[in-house]
Every structure is written in C-alpha cells, then in structure tokens.
Chains A and B, each alone.
Chain A
C-alpha cells in the first residue's frame, strides 16, 4: 500500500483556465476528503465522499468547484475559471468508516498557483 496519492504535485495555470486534480486513496478506505490549505493557515474542509456518494460540501466550495468519485475509488477535484484566490495547496485524505480510531491519512497535496 503506497498511501494516498495525489496528482499533479504542482500546477501553474493562468487565471480563467480550468484545472483538475486527482486523488487515489488507500485502497480499503471508503471515505475520501478534500481540504484546501493557504499559506500560514490550517487545512480547511471542502468536501467528502463515502464510497461514491458526496455527503457534504463546504460553503467554501463555490459553483466553480466540483468533485467526483465515480466508482468509489479515486476522486477528482475540478476548478473552473480559476481565480488568483484559488491558489493554495489542495490536500486529499482518506479513512475507513472506523477511521476516527486510526486517524486520517493525507496525500502529498497538489500545489496550485494561478497567475
């Protein structure tokens, strides 16, 4: 098991472009989370999935953001019409249903820079 994988590690995009990030969770984990972290701040919750169902979305997730987990395995986070304020580290985490007892495993993150 290689842990939680995120791709790409870095993304530089021009304002107004669309970007998509991928997260591959630990295989036996059925819960998957997306967080966003800006410089000097703690990670902020964006959304989470249990299997393929998206169960909660934060107010931070504007209409320009969409996340999917089509087969309950990997997930994608898409940002449309990127803005400079979207520049951040996007972190993915996974856990099992009993995950609270073992913690949440985070991926290495995707650092997005919007220029």
Chain B
C-alpha cells in the first residue's frame, strides 16, 4: 500500500524567510501533484510534475520531483503572509495501473507578518 509522508506537518515561519516542504512516497510513481487548501475551501492545483527531474516555479513557490529517491520538494522563497495555507502533495498511482492519486496528510503553513 502506498504511503505518502509529508514533513513537516506544521510550519510557522516569518515573512521573508525560505523553507522547504518534503514529500516522500513509498512506491514507484512518475507523477506528483501539489495542491493548496485554504481553511474551509477546496483544493487548488499548484504544480503537476510529470517526470524525474521536473522542476516548476510559480512566484515564490518552486516544486521538484526526484522519482528515483521518491521525493518531491516544495520550496518557498521569501515567504509572504498570503502563502499561509495547507499544502498537500499527491502521488499518481497510474504507474501501478491504479487510476487515482493518494494524498499526504498536508503541511499547515503559517507565515507570521
């Protein structure tokens, strides 16, 4: 059974700082997704990572995927308060002939002004 582990689960940081969220998973996959969720809201797609070595950037967020290490990272540069949210990684199971995505528990990010 696939396990998707995110760490940290909770992160409080000050504006202007940099930090990285890690997503490890336990089985082979070549696709991974990052989502953002604001309190009481649904999931907003941030990044779709489709291959080993994929790197995508949007504003202050950058995501990467290392399929050999079964690791994805979400890096936050010079954090601003608006980035406070919960961030989920989700691993695509289609490599295992299973058409769904499995989520981590999420990283709750709180950025202090």
Which residues of A come within 8 Å of B, CB atoms?
31, 33, 35, 40-45, 48, 50, 55-56, 91, 100-109, 111
CA distance A103 to B44 in the complex (A): 10
* Residue B31 at the chain A interface, CB threshold 8 Å: yes
Which residues of B come within 8 Å of A, CB atoms?
4, 31, 33, 35, 40-43, 45, 48, 50, 88, 90, 92, 94, 98-106
List, in ascending order, chain A residues with CB within 8 A of B102's CB.
45
| B103 near A103: Cβ-Cβ < 8 Å | no
CA distance A55 to B94 in the complex (A): 13
| B42 near A107: Cβ-Cβ < 8 Å | yes
| B103 near A42: Cβ-Cβ < 8 Å | yes
Least distance between A17 CB and chain B CB atoms (Å): 23
CA distance A48 to B101 in the complex (A): 11
Least distance between A8 CB and chain B CB atoms (Å): 14
| A48 near B104: Cβ-Cβ < 8 Å | no
CA distance A101 to B103 in the complex (A): 17
| A41 near B99: Cβ-Cβ < 8 Å | no
CA distance A48 to B102 in the complex (A): 13
List, in ascending order, chain A residues with CB within 8 A of B40's CB.
111
List, in ascending order, chain A residues with CB within 8 A of B50's CB.
100-101
CA distance A90 to B106 in the complex (A): 17
Q: Given A45-B102, A50-B99, A56-B100, check contact A104 B42 (CB 8 Å).
A: no
